[in-house]
């Protein structure tokens, strides 16, 4: 059943539970002053008219009253921008054209001389909608009975390794068929089957999304944005607008938190689109905190079904998993989350018989995108609870069952490839030891129960097979070094680590190395994106290659000048030294102006600039029916987390007493930063386990503010938090290094769930494991009265 709605102002919610997108919020004062100082008084402010409905057809849009408002410089709609945009699947327009698919979908945009005028203009736009039935459950959305969110799915452009199912809401289906699952069940001494539901959560970066775009009179576009993906934005926005990538420039200064929310393209294209209508004027668009909650990327929800069985010794014989990923209204990024979950669906276990179906499903919820862990926290939260339940069913200690089944070097993985060297067995031992596994401690009070839990994980960089990195290294007159790179620092320390690697590879002090910032696609070398915990490995390889190139140029120059073999030369602390003649020369004396030829016959050399690049060449395609192939991913980072906690029987409140993390990072380039990533990830994982949930009702978010959406603070973190680094080198990593940024929150929720079970014997369908849910579950189980 459909109805028609006409509105010229933001509609009041239908029922108190449905929130209103407040386009009237503005920012003034110091921020506006700073904008004027950088961009001048010609800066325009943009606001967006968002859809008030989860699913509706757009029957008409009247912008005449908005355009007539004094101070309004442009009003745009989807009619102005027919192109599609998307990373893996091009399934959306910059502004909606024929229908809206979630509350918050951009319908129109305004640029005005002040934010207050822009807000007034947005409220004057009249839109007539025909409301449609929304899809709010991914499992139902995958069924033939669900209304189609994207009837034109078969017409969308898509990369070869994503497999949309035409005529359905399934934008990607990844399948694994390994061994004979059906025959394996009768050989199992214990079998468990479980269902879990993981809710949407928000990244909540401390800095909301913000972008400023300007189009000059020649049509060249400059976008300044808080971005993890400046080069991807250059490419995708240029494609959508039908312009050359060389006419699209993206400048990305330091980012105030991302966690995946600022990867790819979200609101940035809106600012660019509006700027095309006011050439010469910069246009600023900034999301309010409320808008950040559900008009930017969110983490996908997941409904998962697990079935697994083992023999009498606890050896896992078979797994059968089914995942329904709630990808939201557009799944241009979410389709690859689904794929990553498929090729990692056994977790870090060697399982001979596997059947997996991983569905990415369109729903009328906010857009599901990349978030720290890229699907692995959601998938492991259910899987690792099942592993515990299987251990209890067969009568084996939960740590022991992991020892017996975890992957090792040479293990045959879920996709049929072989596992590279890994320190996962050692990680398991380290976290068990850290919380004194097997030793029971008394609770702190009679009304409390204490429990311990553990979980292990793996994660590969989820990326195309040919995602590349490049870098340059340049020396100045005084011998200082500048490194150019295209990856972004989000606070994770990428710039520091790359400076360390450049210094070590070139042979100069770390203090003499600078990183060229901000990242600017016109001047910075290419980098695919700052995602997938791949920069230390991929961009690090490019930086090392560039430094080595500069080093070769320097040593070749000196060897020619001195008449020595380059093998006898070295660079130590910024000085070229000869181990044969014991001559030496500082870099500052030769890296710009070169060296004189003998007998005053001229000069040799010149400015030194090294170039480097890296791209994996060995990732192969997988069979679309079986998911089998020679090498599905570049590598896996593995690890373990364990917790000790107490549950208050009177309130259900959980207190984390101790936490332990251990990850095999290949080589810790900066051990303190590695430990900081482990600690930060643990606390973010704790937050998603105990507190965070986007409460959705019929497609409307109920809690789009920090009043009702809680995240963990320092008071929630355990006072005893241990981080243990394991180093089993990666064959193609710089000094053997692998990434660690995302992995440290993958296993946390499962470890906490297992500890809650150990304490009070209850399981819940999914997080957050709030005090209320725990208390009610204990009440239902008869644990409390």
Q: What is the pLDDT of residues 250-281, one digit of tens each?
A: 999 989 999 999 999 999 999 999 999 999 99
Using CA atoms, how far apart are residues 534 and 58, in angstroms rounded to an integer? 41
Look at residues 614, 635, 658 and tell me which one is the last residue of a structural domain: 614
pLDDT of residue 260: 97
Name the DSSP letter for residue 256: S
Residue 743 per-residue DSSP state: G
Asked if residue 263 and residue 128 are part of one domain, the reply reads: yes
The two three-digit tokens of residue 525, written as one number: 């070398």
What values do phi and psi take at 191, rounded to 5? -135, 135
Tell me whether residue 554 is in a domain: yes
In a domain, 631, yes or no: yes
Asked if the structure places residue 137 within a domain, the reply is no
Q: What mean pLDDT comes out for the span 178-184?
A: 98
Give domain status of residue 274, yes or no: yes
| The predicted structure's pLDDT at residue 24 | 37
Give the model's pLDDT for residue 631.
96
**141 is a domain residue:** no
Which pLDDT value is given to residue 693?
98
What does the pLDDT read at residue 38?
82
Cα dihedral across residues 554, 555, 556, 562: positive or negative: positive
Q: What is the pLDDT of residues 599-620, one digit of tens each?
A: 889 999 999 999 999 999 999 9
Average pLDDT in the 530-551 region? 98
pLDDT tens-digit profile of 398-430? 999 999 999 999 999 999 999 999 999 999 999
Does residue 477 sit in the same domain as residue 459?
Answer: no
Q: What is the mean pLDDT of the chain?
A: 95
Query: Does residue 646 have a pLDDT over 70?
Result: yes
Residue 28 confidence (pLDDT): 39
Residues 247 and 379 in one domain: no
Do 310 and 415 lie in one domain? The reply is yes
CATH number of residue 116's parent domain: 3.90.1170.50
pLDDT of 231-246, one tens digit each? Answer: 999 999 999 999 999 9
Q: Looking at residues 583-591, what average pLDDT do you find?
A: 98
- 452 and 308, same structural domain? yes
Residues in a beta bridge with 571: 576
| Whether residue 603 sits in one domain with residue 585 | yes
Q: Look at residue 144 and tell me if it is in a domain.
A: no
Question: Nearest to residue 121, comparing CAs of 210, 28, 26, 46?
Answer: 46
225 lies in the same domain as 330:
no
Q: Give the pLDDT band (50/70/90) at residue 20.
A: very low
pLDDT of the residue at 14: 31
User: Is residue 31's pLDDT more than 90?
Assistant: no
Cα–Cα dist 696/710, whole Å: 15
Is the model's pLDDT at 62 over the cut of 60?
A: yes
Predicted confidence (pLDDT) at residue 495 exceeds the cutoff of 50: yes
The H or E element containing residue 699 is none
- Residue 30 — pLDDT band, cuts 50, 70, 90? very low
CA distances from 116 to 27, 111, 290, 324 (A): 9, 11, 17, 42
% of the chain exceeding 90 in pLDDT: 94
Q: What is the mean pLDDT of residues 483-512?
A: 97
The answer, yes or no, to whether residue 91 has pLDDT greater than 50, is yes
Co-location of 379 and 485 in the same domain: no
Residue 69 has pLDDT above 50, yes or no: yes
- Assign residue 606 the CATH number of its domain: 3.30.365.10
The pLDDT assigned to 18 comes to 42
CA dist 669 → 103, 457, 493, 735 (Å): 44, 22, 11, 8
Check whether 8 has a pLDDT greater than 80.
no
The bridge status of strand 469-475 relative to strand 481-485 is antiparallel
pLDDT at 11: 32
Domain enclosing residue 518, as ranges: 469-614
Can you give 498-547 as a three-state secondary structure string? HHHHHHHHHCCCHHHEEECCCEECCCCCCECCCCCCCHHHHHHHHHHHHH
Same domain, 218 and 238: yes
Residue where a domain stops, chosen among 614, 633, 653: 614
- Same domain (yes/no): 458, 498: no
Count of structural domains within the chain: 3
> Residue 629: which pLDDT band, with cuts at 50, 70 and 90?
very high
pLDDT tens, residue by residue, 696-738: 999 999 999 999 999 999 999 999 999 999 999 999 999 999 9
Residues 60 and 91 reside in one and the same domain: yes
What confidence score (pLDDT) does residue 7 get? 40
Domain final residue, candidates 614, 630, 654: 614
Instruction: Quickly state the pLDDT bin for 209 (edges 50, 70, 90).
Output: very high
Residue 250 has what pLDDT?
A: 98
Per-residue pLDDT band for 23 (boundaries 50, 70, 90) equals very low
For the entire predicted model, the pTM comes to 0.95
Nearest C-alpha neighbor of 767 from the set 777, 782, 781, 759: 777
pLDDT at 35: 63
Q: Is the pLDDT of residue 3 over 70?
A: no
Q: Residues of the chain with pLDDT > 70: what percent?
A: 95
Average pLDDT over residues 133-155: 98
| pLDDT at position 1 over 90 | no
pLDDT at position 571 over 90 = yes
Quick one: 420 and 551 in the same domain?
A: no
Is 462 a residue whose pLDDT tops 50?
A: yes
Q: What is each CA distance from 487 to 246, 518, 702, 708, in whole angstroms? A: 19, 10, 36, 35
């Amino acid at each position: 059943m459909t109805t028609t709605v006409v509105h010229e102002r933001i509609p009041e919610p239908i029922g108190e539970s449905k929130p209103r997108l407040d386009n009237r919020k503005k920012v003034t004062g110091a921020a506006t002053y700073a904008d004027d100082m950088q961009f001048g008084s010609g800066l325009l402010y943009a606001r967006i008219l968002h859809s008030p409905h989860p699913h509706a057809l757009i029957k008409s849009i009247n912008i005449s009253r908005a355009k007539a408002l004094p101070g309004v410089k442009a009003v745009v709609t989807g009619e102005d921008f027919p192109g599609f945009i998307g990373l893996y699947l091009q399934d959306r327009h910059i502004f909606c054209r024929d229908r809206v698919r979630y509350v918050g979908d951009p319908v129109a945009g305004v640029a005005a001389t002040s934010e207050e005028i822009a807000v007034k203009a947005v409220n004057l736009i009249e839109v007539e909608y025909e409301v449609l039935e929304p899809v709010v459950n991914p499992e139902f959305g995958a069924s033939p009975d669900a209304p189609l969110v994207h009837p034109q799915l078969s017409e969308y452009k898509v990369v070869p390794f994503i497999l949309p199912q035409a005529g359905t809401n399934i934008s990607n289906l990844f399948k694994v068929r390994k061994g004979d699952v059906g025959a394996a069940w009768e050989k199992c001494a214990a079998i468990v089957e479980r269902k879990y539901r993981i809710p949407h959560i928000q990244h909540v970066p401390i800095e909301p999304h913000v972008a400023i775009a300007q189009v000059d009179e020649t049509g060249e576009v400059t976008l300044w944005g808080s971005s993890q993906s400046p080069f991807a934005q250059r490419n995708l926005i240029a494609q959508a607008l039908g312009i050359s990538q060389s006419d699209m420039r993206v400048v990305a200064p330091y980012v105030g938190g991302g966690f995946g929310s600022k990867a790819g393209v979200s609101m940035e294209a809106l600012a660019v689109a509006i700027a095309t209508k006011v050439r010469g004027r910069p246009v600023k668009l900034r999301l309010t905190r409320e808008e950040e909650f559900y008009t930017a990327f969110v983490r996908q929800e997941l409904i998962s079904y697990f079935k697994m069985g083992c023999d009498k010794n606890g050896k896992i014989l078979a797994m059968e998993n089914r995942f329904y990923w709630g990808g939201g209204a557009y799944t241009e990024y979410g389709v690859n989350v689904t794929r990553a979950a498929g090729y990692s669906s056994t977790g870090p276990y060697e399982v001979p018989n596997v059947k997996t179906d991983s569905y990415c499903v369109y729903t009328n919820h906010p857009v599901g995108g990349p978030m720290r862990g890229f699907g692995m926290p959601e998938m492991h939260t259910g899987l690792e609870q099942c592993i515990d339940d299987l251990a209890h069913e067969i009568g084996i200690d939960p740590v022991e069952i992991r020892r017996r089944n975890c992957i090792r070097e040479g293990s045959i993985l879920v996709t049929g490839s072989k596992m590279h060297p890994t320190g996962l067995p050692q990680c398991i031992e380290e976290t068990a030891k850290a919380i004194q596994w097997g030793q029971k401690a008394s609770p702190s009070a009679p009304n409390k129960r204490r429990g311990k839990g553990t979980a292990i994980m793996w994660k590969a960089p989820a990326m195309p097979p040919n995602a590349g990195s490049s870098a340059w290294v340049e020396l100045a007159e005084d011998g200082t070094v500048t490194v150019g790179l295209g990856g972004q620092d989000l606070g994770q320390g990428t710039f520091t680590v790359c400076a360390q690697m450049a210094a070590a590879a070139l042979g100069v002090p770390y203090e003499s190395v600078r990183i060229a910032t901000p990242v600017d696609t016109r001047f910075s070398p290419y980098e695919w994106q700052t995602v997938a915990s791949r920069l230390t490995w991929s961009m690090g390889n490019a930086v090392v290659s560039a430094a080595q190139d500069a080093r070769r140029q320097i040593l070749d120059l000196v060897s020619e000048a001195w008449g020595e073999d380059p093998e006898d030369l070295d660079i130590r602390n910024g000085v070229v030294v000869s181990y044969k003649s014991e001559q030496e020369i500082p870099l500052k004396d030769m890296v710009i102006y070169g060296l004189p030829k003998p007998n005053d016959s001229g000069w040799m050399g010149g400015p030194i600039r090294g170039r480097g690049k890296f791209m994996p060449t060995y990732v192969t395609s997988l069979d679309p029916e079986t998911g089998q192939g020679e090498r599905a991913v570049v590598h896996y980072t593995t690890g373990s987390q364990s917790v000790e906690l107490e549950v208050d029987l009177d309130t259900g409140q959980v207190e984390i007493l101790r936490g332990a993390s251990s990850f095999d990072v290949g080589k810790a380039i900066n051990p303190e930063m590695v430990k900081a990533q482990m600690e930060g990830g643990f606390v973010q994982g704790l937050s998603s386990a105990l507190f965070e949930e986007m409460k959705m009702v019929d497609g409307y978010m109920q809690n789009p503010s920090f009043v009702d959406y809680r995240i963990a603070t320092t008071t929630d973190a355990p006072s005893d938090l241990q981080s243990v680094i394991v180093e089993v080198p990666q064959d193609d990593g710089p000094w053997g290094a692998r990434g660690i940024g995302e992995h440290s929150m993958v296993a946390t929720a499962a470890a906490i769930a297992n500890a809650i079970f150990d304490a009070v014997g209850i399981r819940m369908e999914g997080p957050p494991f709030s005090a209320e849910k725990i208390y009610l579950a204990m009440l239902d189980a008869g644990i409390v009265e």
